[in-house]
């Protein structure tokens, strides 16, 4: 009797689930959107059964599953509760990003969940990695169906005319706002919808989690940030909380909100949601913080006319070395971030500099799984031993420091503006070239000036590790800002003879005497371009250098067996 009763319950549960057309998975992301702004006409967007790319298994296997489960034994019970609330808020950012990235996300996710083809498991895994149907490492080509990715992702209507684009670019009515979605009103006119309205339900829930964490934490700087950030979710004014984020001094930390503009490939105007929940390593951070004293010296020595130097930028540039516990949203899609530099708000950067956060456990995972094996294949025999984890870490560190150097706010013909706004869609790529090249320049310049921060032989170890690292980066595809930036550097350095290819072995090496001069030349070009807000020059550099030369393509073809990237498995929060 009891047994029949449970079977009846089970049947009832199945019927109920089926009755809602797929069950609770239905509104995974739509539940966070204000009902009047959810995407319309989604049912017809993808035909069923889904047509999928042929090599789904191969694509998915390019990402090595890596366990990201840092030691949390140093945390007390309260800190662990705080961590739970922060991860809950972070997982909402993950959902909001899916909305921003992919029109009709829920309808598509449902179709993927219902997919019954042989490639089912690989498809589902790859859809999760890319957070949508476009392959982030293959020029955003569709691996589901045949619809091209809208350049502006889901930030803008998908049916825009030339006139619509011009109107957005004109900045009318906040259409170019960092924290607005662009949609059509009842008359078909473009309107800017503030994130706090568009994502109202999601941001309210995220704010609740942040306030819960604020109540729990015993750390004053974290409490102040969380309260201000919760308010920012409701007001779209992130300034105060960005300032407070700079002052965080807590073992458990979070970076959460709308930040980077890479996902908006149309204009680079719109900030994408993301979250990093981390635990800090205070010892490492203190050691690295000593580097910040060098920033004024570096700025003063940049290969740039003095009048374009940014000498009064905020002096405080904290550095954190942390272990990642959870990430969500923009940063979790496709290629995994090993370091970031925030906030992007130039007002905060002028006042306080910017904070560099290095994700040590992610970086170590990538060096071991990817960079070391790549070097064994592509670097000349007599240089391969120079590739080392410390240099990989150092370049990443100085890359992040370099985002805070050079031109930021500008005055052009009396008009106040920013490099980001003037370089528009080229900005992300150009800024990444700047940070990569300047990061290398910083280290070699400090070493040449006799500073004793670095290991012996850094002047050789650093360039060769950098060279190996470029192969790792261009494997991401040269469509996205970081990959494109690496292709530019690779081709430029090849042009100048700073790196060279041996046709006999197919391997590459560094010409040490030409390396620093070439780096300095490229850095000068980029900095002048930014200082003069020279959009045409930025476009020209991308057109000239952001391509894949045959020697590079041939070398990459030999790396097939090596994972392209990692897919983190967050052991402490496996379901989020
Ligand atoms: Zn960067």
pLDDT of residue 8: 47
Q: The tokens of 441 are what?
A: 């320049």
Ligand 1 centroid from CA 294, angstroms: 19
State the residue for tokens 């035909």: 47
**Is residue 270 assigned to a domain?**
no
**Å from CA of 309 to ligand 1 middle:** 20
Q: Pick the residue with more confidence: 559 or 45? A: 559
Task: Report the alpha-carbon distance of residue 529 to residue 76 in Å, rounded.
Answer: 50
Of residues 80 and 22, more confidence is placed in: 80
Distance 120 CA to ligand 1 centre (A): 35
For residue 207, being part of any structural domain is answered with no
Distance 339 CA to ligand 1 centre (A): 8
Per-residue model confidence (pLDDT) at position 266: 95
* Containing structural domain, residue 407: 358-570
Can you give the pLDDT at residue 175?
Answer: 96
pLDDT at 360 over 80: yes
Tell me the CA–centroid distance for residue 400 and ligand 1, in Å: 6
Average pLDDT over residues 310-328: 80
pLDDT confidence bin for 316, thresholds 50/70/90: low
For residue 17, name the pLDDT band (cuts at 50, 70, 90).
very low
Angle between helical axes of 77-101 and 200-216 (0-180°, round to 10) = 170
CB proximity list for 252: less than 8 A, separation 6 or greater: 75, 79, 82, 83, 86, 217, 219, 222, 277, 278, 279, 280
Token couple for 370? 């990817």
Segment 552-562 mean pLDDT: 92
- Give SS3 for 189: coil
Is residue 188 situated within a structural domain? no
State the distance from the centre of ligand 1 to the C-alpha of 187, rounded, in angstroms: 41
The answer to whether residue 15 scores a pLDDT higher than 50 is no
Cα–Cα distance list, 100 to 134, 264, 372, 532 (Å):
13, 9, 35, 32
Strands 355-359 and 319-329: parallel
pLDDT of residue 318: 76
Asked if the structure places residue 500 within a domain, the reply is: yes
Listed range (71-75, 216-220, 266-270, 494-498) with the worst mean pLDDT: 71-75
CB count, 10 Å around CB of 48? 10
Alpha carbon of 224 to ligand 1 centroid (Å): 28
**What's the gap in Å between 105 CA and the centre of ligand 1?**
28
CA distance 507 to 485: 22
Tally of CA atoms within 13 A in the half-sphere of 328 that contains its CB: 27
d(CA 439, CA 402): 6
Mean pLDDT of the chain: 91
Question: What separation in Å is there between the alpha carbon of 365 and the centre of ligand 1?
Answer: 19
- The beta-strand segments (E) located in 38-165 are 63-68, 134-135, 141-142
> Which range (135-149, 162-176, 475-489, 507-521) has the least confidence?
475-489
Q: Look at residue 406 and tell me if it is in a domain.
A: yes
What pLDDT is recorded for position 43? 82
DSSP states of 134-167 as a string? EETTTTTEESBSSPPPPTTTTTS-TT--HHHHHH
How many whole angstroms from 432 Cα to the centroid of ligand 1? 5
Is 329 among the domain residues?
A: no
Classify residue 138 by burial, with Cβ atoms within 10 Å: 0-12, 13-18, 19+: middle
- pLDDT score for 476: 64
Most confident range, picked from 91-100, 107-116, 130-139, 392-401: 91-100
**Average pLDDT estimate for 487-511:** 97
Other C-beta atoms within 10 Å of 160: how many? Answer: 18
Cβ–Cβ < 8 Å for 152, 175: no
Report CA(504)–ligand 1 centroid distance (Å): 35
CA of 47 to the centre of ligand 1 (A): 38
Residues within 5 Å of ion ligand 1, judged at the Cβ atom: 435
Split into its structural domains, the chain has a count of 1
| pTM as predicted | 0.78
Task: Report d(CA 493, CA 515) in Å as an integer.
Answer: 8
CA of residue 485 to ligand 1 center, whole Å: 10
**Residue 285 pLDDT exceeds 80:** no
Give the distance (Å) from ligand 1 centre to CA of residue 310.
19
Reply yes or no on whether the pLDDT at 133 is more than 90: yes
**Do you find a cis peptide bond into 343, omega within 30 degrees of 0?**
yes
* Reported confidence tier of residue 139, pLDDT bands at 50, 70, 90: confident
CA of 439 to the centre of ligand 1 (A): 10
| Gap from CA of 401 to ligand 1 centroid (Å) | 9
488 has pLDDT over 50: yes
Distance in Å, CA 21 to ligand 1 centroid: 43
pLDDT at 313 over 70: no
Q: What is the pLDDT of residues 361-386, one digit of tens each?
A: 999 899 989 999 999 999 999 999 99
Residue 117 CA to ligand 1 center (angstroms) comes to 39
Residue 288 is assigned to a structural domain of this protein? no
CA of 149 from ligand 1 middle (Å) equals 24
How far away, in angstroms, is 414 Cα from ligand 1 center? Answer: 29
Percent of the chain with pLDDT over 70: 94
Q: Is residue 547 part of a domain?
A: yes
Query: Which pLDDT belongs to residue 317?
Result: 65
């Amino acid at each position: 009797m009891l047994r029949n009763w449970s079977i009846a319950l089970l049947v009832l549960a199945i019927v109920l689930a089926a009755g809602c057309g797929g069950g609770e998975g239905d509104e995974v992301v739509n539940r966070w959107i204000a009902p009047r702004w959810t995407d319309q006409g989604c049912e017809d967007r993808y035909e069923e059964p889904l047509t999928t790319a042929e090599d789904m298994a191969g694509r998915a296997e390019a990402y090595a599953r890596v366990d990201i489960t840092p030691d949390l034994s140093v945390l007390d019970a309260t800190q662990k509760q705080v961590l739970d609330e922060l991860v809950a808020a972070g997982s909402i950012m993950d959902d909001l990003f899916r909305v921003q990235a992919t029109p009709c996300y829920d309808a598509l996710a449902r179709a993927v969940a219902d997919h019954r083809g042989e490639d089912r498991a690989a498809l589902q895994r790859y859809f999760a990695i890319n957070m949508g149907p476009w392959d982030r490492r293959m020029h955003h080509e569709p691996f589901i169906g045949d619809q091209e990715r809208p350049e502006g992702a889901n930030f803008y209507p998908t049916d825009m005319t030339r006139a619509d684009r011009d109107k957005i670019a004109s900045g009318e009515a906040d259409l170019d706002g960092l924290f607005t979605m662009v949609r059509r009103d009842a008359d078909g006119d473009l309107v800017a919808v503030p994130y706090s309205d568009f994502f109202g339900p999601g941001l309210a829930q995220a704010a609740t989690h942040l306030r819960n964490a604020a109540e729990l934490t015993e750390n004053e700087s974290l409490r102040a940030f969380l309260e201000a950030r919760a308010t920012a979710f409701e007001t779209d004014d992130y300034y105060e909380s960005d300032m407070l984020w700079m002052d965080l001094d807590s073992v458990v930390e979070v970076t959460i909100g709308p930040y980077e503009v890479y996902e908006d490939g149309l204009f680079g105007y719109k900030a994408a949601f993301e979250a990093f929940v981390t635990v800090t390593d205070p010892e490492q951070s203190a050691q690295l913080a000593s580097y910040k004293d060098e920033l004024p010296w570096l700025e003063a020595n940049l290969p740039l006319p003095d009048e374009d130097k940014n000498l009064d930028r905020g002096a405080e540039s904290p550095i954190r070395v942390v272990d990642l516990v959870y990430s969500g949203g923009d940063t979790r899609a496709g290629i995994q971030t090993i370091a970031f530099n925030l906030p992007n708000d130039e007002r905060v950067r002028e006042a306080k500099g910017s904070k560099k956060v290095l994700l040590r456990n992610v970086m170590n995972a990538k060096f071991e799984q990817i960079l070391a094996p790549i070097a064994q294949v592509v670097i000349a025999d007599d240089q391969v031993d120079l590739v080392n984890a410390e240099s990989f870490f150092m370049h990443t560190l100085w890359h992040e420091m370099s985002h805070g150097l050079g031109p930021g706010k500008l005055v052009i013909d009396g008009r106040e503006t920013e490099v980001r706004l003037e370089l528009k869609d080229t900005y992300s790529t150009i800024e990444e070239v700047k940070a990569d090249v300047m990061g290398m320049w910083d280290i070699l310049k400090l070493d040449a000036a006799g500073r004793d921060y670095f290991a012996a032989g850094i002047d050789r170890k650093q360039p060769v590790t950098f060279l190996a690292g470029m192969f790792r980066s261009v494997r991401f595809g040269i469509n996205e800002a970081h990959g494109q930036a690496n292709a530019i550097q690779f081709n430029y350095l090849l042009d100048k003879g700073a790196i060279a290819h041996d046709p006999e072995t197919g391997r590459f090496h560094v010409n040490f005497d030409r390396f620093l001069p070439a780096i300095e030349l490229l850095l000068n070009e980029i900095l002048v371009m930014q200082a003069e807000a020279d959009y045409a020059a930025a476009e020209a550099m991308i057109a000239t250098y952001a391509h894949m030369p045959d020697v590079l393509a041939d070398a990459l073809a030999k790396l097939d067996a090596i994972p392209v990237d990692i897919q983190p498995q967050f052991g402490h929060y496996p379901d989020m």
